[in-house]
Amino acid sequence: MAYLDIENFCKKFDNTEVLKGISFSIEKGEVVSIIGSSGSGKTTLLRCMNFLETPDEGKMTLDGERLLQCPQIKKEKESVLRSKRLNFGLVFQSFNLFPQYNVLNNVTLAPLLLLKTKIKELKKSLKEKKKTDKTVTSAYIKKTISEYKEEKKKEIDNDAKLLLEKTGLTDKTFNYPCQLSGGQQQRVAIARALALKPKILCFDEPTSALDPELTGEVLKVIRSLKNENRTMIIVTHEMGFAKNVSDKVIFMSDGVVVESGSPKEIFDNPKSEKLKSFLINLENKENI
Amino acid sequence: MDFVTVTLKLLEGFLTTCEIFFLTLVSALPLGLLVVFGSMSKFKPLKIIVRGIVWIIRGTPLMLQVIIIYYVPGLVFNLPLLPRLIAVFFAFTINYACYFSEIYRSGIESISKGQYEAGQVLGMTKGQVFFRVIFMQVIKIIVPPMSNEIITLVKDTSLARVILVAEILKYAEEFTAYGLIWPLFYSGVFYLLFVGVLTLIFGKIEKKLSYYKV
Amino acid sequence: MKKLLTILMVAVLSATACLSLTACGGATEIGTGDGKLIIGYTVYPPMNYTDDNNEFVGFDTELAKAVCELLQVECEFKEIEWSKKVMALDSKEIDVVWNGMTITDELKQAMSITEPYLENKQVIVCKAADAANFSADAAKKGLDKEGLTILAEAGSAGDSTVTGLGLTFQSVTAQKDTLIEIKSGSNKVAVIDKLMADVLVGEGSANPDLTYVDVDFPVEYFGIGFRKTDTATMFAVEKAIEMLKEDNTFDTLLSKYFG
């Protein structure tokens, strides 16, 4: 069985069918690019995987765990969805950094909030234990928790700084998003998504909102992540990048997967008419 | 009557003015947040009811609301009346909570959907998304319209005199009734000073929030 | 020399005539001298009000019109806020306060006031059910009660009556504002003009649930107020009223409005 398995995703908005039965699978460590013209359903697919939209039909399995099963998913509690979401990271086209926090806090905010929840649970379980075990005193609980908190906080802080180093933003640690260029902001967004250690990192057209001269630095970071064997799904318009970096390319059109295969198969030997005309159109555009 | 006597009398009224102002502000700010949760609720009946109330409160003069809250229990239902200052407090709090809620709403609605989604995909709860991500941005957006509204509140406190609450303008008008005109204009100085201090404070807040852009 | 003296005497004589009498080239020294007399009033039945036929009438309204006719000036009525009457005069927004104004020492300091032209009294207004608590002879005792606050218009005759007796007092901006206070139970009792109470409370009025008690408060007098410096107009108006009293116009008005 594959690492990620998506079966028959369908999604309708009002009366428009955006996804018409999408199925594909990904192996661990693979980088998959999803290409296709706008309106083909790429972004919706990504949003469904991240539980920002709920598909009308379909199944999703990750690492042997059934994450999504229609129609039960519609009845799931918000807290369950939240923990499921954490399997994925998502980098948006428009960065969506939190403007009131500096770069470091943008990266650490979510891990710290998760830590808070964890500490609450820990406290609860220790208090349960106190009822039966006399060696567990109030002072002991307090000490254990504060030690745990300190340790984890330090860990989160160190992780964040490492991630910023990796994305080349160490000198921007205490800057605010409004002081950064688009490329820098997107790199912060990548660091922020990685801070939660997702199993799969998704990119929704990560360079579309950037000036051409800034796309390079973002693509470079993504390439470096490939070298770490991260599993990634990238919705992109950068064909050259898709060709070079992906292990697998999926071509979508009108809500269906028209062709998928290695970059070589897709770009050098397209079979379907739709893919052929898509590639020719792109080429023409580049030549203008 | 000499300057000192008049000043002392006006100061006595100004104390009541300040009391109305601060009590209203402290209770209308959080109440407005409750109102905006209602008026933006996904639960339709609640949304309709709350928006209806906001419409009524914003659509009628505050002076009328003060009179209604104070006199109607006695006039129509023959009930004992609230103390005057309490009636003013209720009327002002409800009125300003509705105005504040609309400012909050405009602020909340101006935050892009992407901010909510960014919080969501990072595993935050709805409460965390609102209070950790959205709220601070809303505050920055609404500081200018809020300071405007709060300055209006300073001057609206003078409406309390329609139910004979002895705030500064009521004292000033009494002087006029006895033939002494200048205290009426002099009372304006108190308002000016008060609003001046508020303007400085809001300027400080705006400056403090200028380190980021929404 | 003789000639010059004659001319001078004629000039002085005609000037005096001008001051004391009325028909002098459009009465230039009435009010601001623009041939208009602006009369400040508040709606105060039966002195100044709009009747069922939508006509602006009242004792003071008609009296003022008659006076202006005698003085050969245009008569213009302007509604004012009673508490700001002195300001309205001084700022020349109006030339006269003619609105059932009770003469008080304070007002005399702020404006020039005519000799009294009408008498008034203060009465106690309360809920009909409360009237027994304020019987005429025991009035002061009734008003003296612990915790009882008495309403009156700031600066009005009621105000001076209440404060003069050393009673607990709450001021309102207009006499009519006392009615909602008493009807709602916010306050039990107010002191207002008898002339007004006659019209506004009791059976047959808009407020049958209220009544008034005529107590032994001192009688006061109504006067007409002018700018402190404008004694010329004041004397002219006084003279005109005298003439109206002589030709019975005044009495006709009295019986028309006060029976």
Q: What is the CATH number of the domain that holds A280?
A: 3.40.50.300
Report the mean per-residue pLDDT for chain C.
Answer: 82
CB proximity list for C29: less than 8 A, separation 6 or greater: C18, C19, C232, C233, C236
The pLDDT-based confidence of C149 (bands split at 50, 70, 90) is confident
User: CA-CA distance, B194 to C196, in Å (whole number)?
Assistant: 41
C247 and C182 inside one domain: no
Residue C67 has pLDDT above 90, yes or no: yes
A139 and A10 inside one domain: no
Report yes or no on C31 lying in a domain: yes
Identify the burial level of A133 via C-beta atoms within 10 angstroms of its C-beta, where 0-12 means exposed, 13-18 middle and 19 or more buried: exposed
Report yes or no on A189 lying in a domain: no
User: CA-CA distance, A197 to B198, in Å (whole number)?
Assistant: 47
Residue B132 has pLDDT above 50, yes or no: yes
Q: Which domain holds residue C195?
A: 122-218
User: CA-CA distance, B114 to B120, in Å (whole number)?
Assistant: 10
A11 and A86 inside one domain: yes
Q: Do A88 and B117 touch (CB under 8 A)?
A: no
Report yes or no on A263 lying in a domain: yes
Q: Do C155 and B174 touch (CB under 8 A)?
A: yes
A210 and A239 inside one domain: yes
Using CA atoms, how far residue C191 sits from A163, B132, C3, C196, C217, in Å, is 82, 60, 65, 11, 10
Report yes or no on A182 lying in a domain: no
Q: Which residues pair with C152 in a beta bridge?
A: C171
Query: Quick one: pLDDT at residue C158?
Result: 85
Please tell me the pTM assigned to this model: 0.75
Find the mean pLDDT for residues C46-60.
Answer: 88
C225 and C193 inside one domain: no
Number of H helices, E strands in chain A: 9, 10
**In chain B, which residues have their Cβ closer than 8 Å to the Cβ of C155?**
174, 176-179
Query: Quick one: pLDDT at residue C4?
Result: 53
Find the mean pLDDT for residues B206-211.
Answer: 91
pLDDT one-digit tens code per residue, A8-67: 999 999 889 999 999 999 999 999 999 998 888 999 999 999 999 999 999 999 998 888
**In chain B, which residues have their Cβ closer than 8 Å to the Cβ of C180?**
67, 71, 75
C105 and C227 inside one domain: yes
**In chain B, which residues have their Cβ closer than 8 Å to the Cβ of C156?**
177
Identify the burial level of A66 via C-beta atoms within 10 angstroms of its C-beta, where 0-12 means exposed, 13-18 middle and 19 or more buried: exposed
Establish, for the pair of chains A and B, how many residue pairs have beta carbons separated by less than 8 Å. 61
CATH number for the domain spanning C106: value is 3.40.190.10
CA distance B57 to chain C (A): 23
Domain final residue, candidates A160, A175, A190: A175
Total tally of structural domains belonging to chain C: 2
Tokens linked to A243? 């060709």
Report yes or no on A243 lying in a domain: yes
Query: Quick one: pLDDT at residue C7?
Result: 53
A82 and A120 inside one domain: no
C153 and C237 inside one domain: no
ipTM given for this complex: 0.89
Report the mean per-residue pLDDT for chain A.
Answer: 91
Report the mean per-residue pLDDT for chain B.
Answer: 93
Query: Quick one: pLDDT at residue C106?
Result: 85
Report yes or no on C30 lying in a domain: yes
Domains of chain B and CATH, by start: 3-211 (1.10.3720.10)
CB distance B57 to B98 below 8 Å: yes
pLDDT one-digit tens code per residue, B47-98: 999 999 999 999 999 999 999 999 999 888 888 888 999 999 999 999 999 9
Q: Do C87 and B74 touch (CB under 8 A)?
A: no
A137 and A28 inside one domain: no
Report yes or no on C13 lying in a domain: no
C90 and C204 inside one domain: no
CA distance C88 to chain B (A): 10
Report yes or no on C129 lying in a domain: yes
Residue C3 has pLDDT above 60, yes or no: no
Report yes or no on C55 lying in a domain: yes
The least confident of A59-68, C134-143, C199-208 is C134-143
Query: Quick one: pLDDT at residue C137?
Result: 59
Residue with the larger pLDDT of the pair C20 and A117? A117
pLDDT one-digit tens code per residue, C79-134: 998 888 888 999 999 999 999 898 888 889 999 999 999 888 888 899 988 887 77
User: CA-CA distance, C191 to C150, in Å (whole number)?
Assistant: 7
Query: Quick one: pLDDT at residue C135?
Result: 66
Residue C220 has pLDDT above 70, yes or no: yes
Query: Quick one: pLDDT at residue B1?
Result: 66
Query: Quick one: pLDDT at residue C259?
Result: 62
Residue B114 has pLDDT above 80, yes or no: yes
Written in H, E and C, the secondary structure of C71-97 is HCCEEEEEECCHHHHHHHHHCCCCCEE
CB distance A104 to A164 below 8 Å: yes
The pLDDT-based confidence of C32 (bands split at 50, 70, 90) is confident
The values of phi and psi at residue B86, to 5°, are -65, -40
Using CA atoms, how far residue A87 sits from A201, B51, C145, C175, in Å, is 9, 40, 79, 76
A70 and A115 inside one domain: no
Query: Quick one: pLDDT at residue A282?
Result: 83
Report yes or no on C146 lying in a domain: yes
Residue with the larger pLDDT of the pair C17 and A222? A222
Query: Quick one: pLDDT at residue C28?
Result: 47
User: CA-CA distance, B10 to A288, in Å (whole number)?
Assistant: 78
Query: Quick one: pLDDT at residue C141?
Result: 55
C97 and C173 inside one domain: no
CB proximity list for C28: less than 8 A, separation 6 or greater: C35
The pLDDT-based confidence of C206 (bands split at 50, 70, 90) is confident
Tell me the Ramachandran region of residue C135: left when phi exceeds 0, alpha when psi lies from -120 to 50, beta otherwise. Answer: beta
Query: Quick one: pLDDT at residue C22?
Result: 44
C75 and C110 inside one domain: yes
Determine the longest span between alpha carbons in chain C, in angstroms: 82
Domain final residue, candidates A144, A175, A206: A175
Closest to B122 (Cβ–Cβ): which among A78, A100, A110? A110
The pLDDT-based confidence of C10 (bands split at 50, 70, 90) is very low
C93 and C70 inside one domain: yes
User: Which H or E run contains A34?
Assistant: strand A31-35
A33 and A92 inside one domain: yes
C64 and C102 inside one domain: yes
The least confident of A48-52, B151-155, C57-61, C172-176 is C172-176
Domain final residue, candidates A175, A208, A228: A175
Find the mean pLDDT for residues A202-217.
Answer: 90
Which of helix, strand or coil describes residue C9? Answer: helix
- Report yes or no: C110 at the B interface, CB cutoff 8 Å: yes
In chain A, the residue whose alpha carbon lies closest to the alpha carbon of B132 is A109
User: CA-CA distance, C39 to C190, in Å (whole number)?
Assistant: 28
Residue with the larger pLDDT of the pair A158 and C2? A158
CA distance A90 to chain B (A): 7
Closest to C87 (Cβ–Cβ): which among B67, B74, B176? B176
- Report yes or no: C199 at the B interface, CB cutoff 8 Å: no
C235 and C115 inside one domain: yes
Residue with the larger pLDDT of the pair C213 and B200? B200
Q: Which domain holds residue A257?
A: 4-99+198-287
Q: Which residues of C110-123 are buried (b: 16+ CB within 10 A; e: fewer)?
A: bbbbbeebbebbbb
Report yes or no on A190 lying in a domain: no
Q: Do B117 and A52 touch (CB under 8 A)?
A: yes
C68 and C128 inside one domain: no
pLDDT one-digit tens code per residue, A140-150: 888 989 999 99
Q: Which residues pair with A166 in a beta bridge?
A: none
**In chain B, which residues have their Cβ closer than 8 Å to the Cβ of C188?**
none
Closest to C184 (Cβ–Cβ): which among B74, B176, B181? B74
Q: Is the peptide bond prior to C46 cis by the omega test (within 30 degrees of 0)?
A: yes
Report yes or no on A191 lying in a domain: no
Using CA atoms, how far residue C199 sits from A158, B16, C136, C176, C177, in Å, is 86, 36, 20, 11, 15
pLDDT one-digit tens code per residue, C169-182: 888 888 888 989 99
- Among A97, A90, A86, A95, which residue's Cα sits nearest to residue A45? A90
In chain C, beta strands by DSSP E: 36-41, 49-50, 56-57, 74-79, 96-102, 112-113, 118-120, 122-127, 150-153, 169-172, 189-193, 210-213, 220-226
Residue with the larger pLDDT of the pair C203 and A265? A265
Find the mean pLDDT for residues B14-31.
Answer: 96
Find the mean pLDDT for residues B87-111.
Answer: 96
A39 and A121 inside one domain: no
Find the mean pLDDT for residues A223-245.
Answer: 91
C35 and C49 inside one domain: yes
A119 and A94 inside one domain: no
A95 and A224 inside one domain: yes
